[in-house]
Structure 1
Amino acid sequence: MNKTHYLMLLPLLLMACEKPIEPAPPPRPALVMKVGQQNLANNEMVLVGEVKSRYESNIGFRIAGKITQRLVDVGATVKKGQLLATIDANDANLSTQAANADIQAAEANYALAKAELDRQRQLFDKQFISKSALDFREAEFKTAVARLKQIKSQSAVTGNQSNYTRLMADRDGVIAQITAEPGQVVAAGQ
């Protein structure tokens, strides 16, 4: 065979190596819905979901204690400032009484330190005592002043804690969940 025959057979060989062309898949059928008049008497919808409020407040007591009463139930409508529950106030009241006694003791100590300082100043002016003795009484007086301020601040905190025995609604709303019952001991924030 000569070269021309080979050249003529070459296109036939190349065509024999090609893959056959596959037809395109048929188009997927479209979803069809029937449109018609609705019967307004039976126009009902069934929806599945969870309803949540726009704003939720998870409120709880600021101090630990035993719940003595709960004044609302799930589903109750409440107004801002309404009393929801209380915890036993005995411990808080005793702490307040102790803080008041501490204030009285600190005030007495302050008065004594002031009187001593005044006496020591008079004695120093007459040169009956040394400067170091006067300095000592001045330091005692400053300590009494600082101690009185500290005890008054602690008493204010204790007074606040006695107010925390009452759980109040922080805004108008509806009670969605209750996690504690009367008789239960709760931690702060619960």
Structure 2
Amino acid sequence: MYSNPIHYFTAVLSIVLLASCDKKEEQKATQQAPPAVAVTLEEVTTTDAVYYDEYPASITPINQVELRPQVTGFITGVHFQDGARVKKGQLLYSIDAQLYSANYEQAVANLKVQEANVNKAQKDADRYHELDKNDAVAKQLVDNADAALEVAKKQAEAAKANISAVSTSVRYTKVYAPFDGVIGISLVKPGAAVSAGQTLLNTVSTDGQLAVDFGVDQKEIYRFATLLKNRASKDSTFTLAFGPDIYPYPGKIQLLDRAVDPQTGTIKTRLIFPNPDNLLRAGMTGTVRVLNRASTKSVVIPYKAVTEQLGEFFVYVAGDSSKVSQRRIVVGQPLGTKIIVKEGLKEGEKIAVEGVQNLREGALIKTDK
């Protein structure tokens, strides 16, 4: 039998077409595969470098009191200069005392009346008791006289308590400095009406020493607790920076707060800094620098090897198959052109330091060397 030439030609053509398609797909796949990225690798090293850990901080007075009146009235005197230094017990404000003085005088007069009533009731009771000895008076009258005496005594005690209350109000018409410190700008002027416990007159705060508060991660509590235990030593462990400027006096750690803030995972730490030149002011913000003398070696890498994404830091680590993997790290303090890595890398690993901007997870690499 003879084969149909048309069928034969069709079969051959199909084979050729299939082979051609496979070759094109292979070429296409080859063309789509990303080329290897040229990078420079560097081995991760460690160092014993001494550096400073930095923490944002706020400056606050050790003692600070808001002055508010304890009586209602009108300001009759302001007895200081705004921003001046004041001494404990110094008169600061006067409030109109006429009403309170009149109340005091009335209370004194009322006490005298009550004392007179006590004297009369005592004499009546004594007289009735003498008559009772001779059965010359009804027992009920004797009891009534004793009761009247007790009432008179209670009223006299109430009058004395009232004198104490109104005399306190008289004293409260004068506002005194609670301690040595600096007073701010007065918020009221003579003639202003003030309400007891509500109107803010001024604020007094200490400034010879100031507190510096900052948050410490709970992982570092042991370290700072140790520093607190050894706080008697005088050195430059704690310094304060304002931008490039370093405050000239070192501070001392005073306390760690009672508990860790569950929302932030940090604990408030307080330092005390001397302020002999009045360079520090309450409300300032700065940077606390804590000298780190950790005995363990620190991992150090070039800063240019680090990429940042959404507040997290990454490096590309070279694997055994000429590919890189992206790894998250926790960075520490910069050391010139390098930076300390607290977590995420080990000594001896190789990371990309050049060509980083062209890398992605799993990218094929080739080294320049």
The answer to whether TM tops 0.5 is yes
Q: Give the direction of change, closer, same or farther, for the CA distance of 1:22–1:72 in structure 2 (3 Å limit).
A: farther
Between the aligned partners of 2:74 and 2:91, the Cα distance in structure 1 is 16
Q: Give the direction of change, closer, same or farther, for the CA distance of 1:128–1:72 in structure 2 (3 Å limit).
A: same
Q: Give the direction of change, closer, same or farther, for the CA distance of 1:25–1:129 in structure 2 (3 Å limit).
A: farther
2:158 pairs with 1:153: no
Match in the other structure for 1:141: 149
Match in the other structure for 2:277: none
Q: Mark the runs of 5 or more structure 2 residues left unpaired by the alignment.
A: 1-21, 40-56, 200-369
Match in the other structure for 1:107: 115
What is the Cα deviation at residue 141 of structure 1?
Answer: 0.4
Match in the other structure for 1:168: 176
Deviation string, structure 1 residues 92-129 (Cα, Å, up to 9, x no partner): 11011001001100000000100110111111112121
Residue 67 of structure 1 is aligned with which of 64, 75, 80? Answer: 75
Partner-residue secondary structure (3-state), 1:57: strand
Between the aligned partners of 2:33 and 2:180, the Cα distance in structure 1 is 73
Which has the higher relative contact order, 1 or 2, with Cα contacts under 8 A spaced 6 or more apart?
A: 1
Identity rate, percent: 28
Q: Give the direction of change, closer, same or farther, for the CA distance of 1:24–1:63 in structure 2 (3 Å limit).
A: farther
Match in the other structure for 2:103: 95
Q: Give the direction of change, closer, same or farther, for the CA distance of 1:50–1:125 in structure 2 (3 Å limit).
A: same
What is the TM-score of this pair, normalised by structure 1? 0.72
How many pairs align?
A: 154
Alignment RMSD, CA only?
2.7
Between the aligned partners of 1:58 and 1:51, the Cα distance in structure 2 is 17
Q: Give the direction of change, closer, same or farther, for the CA distance of 1:26–1:79 in structure 2 (3 Å limit).
A: farther
What is the TM-score of this pair, normalised by structure 2? 0.38
Which one-letter code corresponds to 2:82 in the other structure?
V
Spell out structure 1 runs of 4+ moving beyond 2 A.
20-27, 49-55
Residue 57 of structure 1 is aligned with which of 65, 69, 85? Answer: 65
Partner-residue secondary structure (3-state), 2:65: coil
Partner-residue secondary structure (3-state), 1:129: coil
Q: Give the direction of change, closer, same or farther, for the CA distance of 1:133–1:55 in structure 2 (3 Å limit).
A: same
Match in the other structure for 1:118: 126
What is the Cα deviation at residue 155 of structure 1?
Answer: 0.6
Q: Mark the runs of 5 or more structure 1 residues left unpaired by the alignment.
A: 1-11, 28-48
Which one-letter code corresponds to 2:108 in the other structure?
N
Alignment of 1:36-51 (within 5 A): none
Between the aligned partners of 2:144 and 2:73, the Cα distance in structure 1 is 45
